Amino acid sequence: MNDEIQTLATTVVYENKWMRLKEDKIRRSSGHQGVYSVVEKPDFVVILAVQDGYVHLVEQYRYPIKKRCWELPQGAWEENPDADHALLAAGELKEETGLIAKKMRYLGDQYLAYGFCNQMYHIYLATELTFTEIDLDPEEEGLITKKVTLTEFEEMILSGEIKDASTVNAYGLAKLKGVL
């Protein structure tokens, strides 16, 4: 089966430093034409920082859902979207939690929502942690951190207190790979 879709024209509908929304006029392999909207965002990292049976979490206000949410440290460098994701992971971990990891193990990458977005995230396991100082970006105002036991973390996922898909996925991947 030929699943190729030809892009006939692209219009950028909206763009800022964090994202671009484009609308593509397409032709499917059957010949039928249509429109496809795509959100383009830079890749990001998710860091599972674990030490002595504890997981380090951050909580921040997430404007789209109007709630404060617990999640693993994560982020992107919009001003440098092609940055090495290992450096990005180390930078985001220090920025959001003040932690520096002696060991960073790459666990893999996943797409956030490839039905409408091209954004991928890279998952790291950070261990042998030391604390320095937190250095938040202005967009992270109000971010707080805490560490919870692995059991408490799993309970937060099961109870729905943690609903961030990349956080849950990162933990699941680490468990499946046998690194936790």
Q: Note the pLDDT tens digit of each residue in 9-38.
A: 999 999 999 999 999 999 999 999 999 999
Q: Which residue has the tokens 């180390």?
A: 90
- The band of 123, judged by pLDDT with boundaries at 50, 70 and 90, is very high
**Chain mean position to CA 159:** 21
Of 30, 114, 55, 42, nearest in space to 82 by CA: 42
As beta bridge partners, residue 147 has 56
pLDDT of residue 3: 74
- Do residues 66 and 41 lie in contact, with contact meaning Cβ atoms separated by under 8 Å? no
| AA letter at 45 | V
pLDDT at residue 1 tops 60 = no
Those residues with Cβ within 8 angstroms of residue 72's Cβ, 6 or more apart along the chain or in another chain: 46, 47, 48, 49, 55, 56, 57, 58, 164, 166, 167, 170, 171
Joined tokens for residue 45: 């990292």
More confident residue, 2 or 84: 84
Those residues with Cβ within 8 angstroms of residue 163's Cβ, 6 or more apart along the chain or in another chain: 69
pLDDT at residue 107 tops 70 = yes
pLDDT, the chain, mean: 94
The H-assigned helical ranges of the chain are: 85-97, 150-159, 165-176
Q: Long-range contact list for 113-120, CB < 8 A, 24+ apart?
A: 116/37, 116/38, 116/39, 117/38, 117/39, 117/40, 117/41, 118/38, 118/39, 118/40, 118/41, 119/39, 119/40, 119/41, 119/42, 119/43, 119/44, 120/43
What does the radius of gyration of the chain's CA atoms come to, in whole angstroms?
18
pLDDT of residue 2: 60
Query: Under CATH, domain 44-176 is a member of which superfamily?
Result: Nucleoside Triphosphate Pyrophosphohydrolase (3.90.79.10)
| AA letter at 38 | V
pTM of the model: 0.91
pLDDT at residue 71 tops 70 = yes
Q: Which residue has the tokens 């099961």?
A: 158
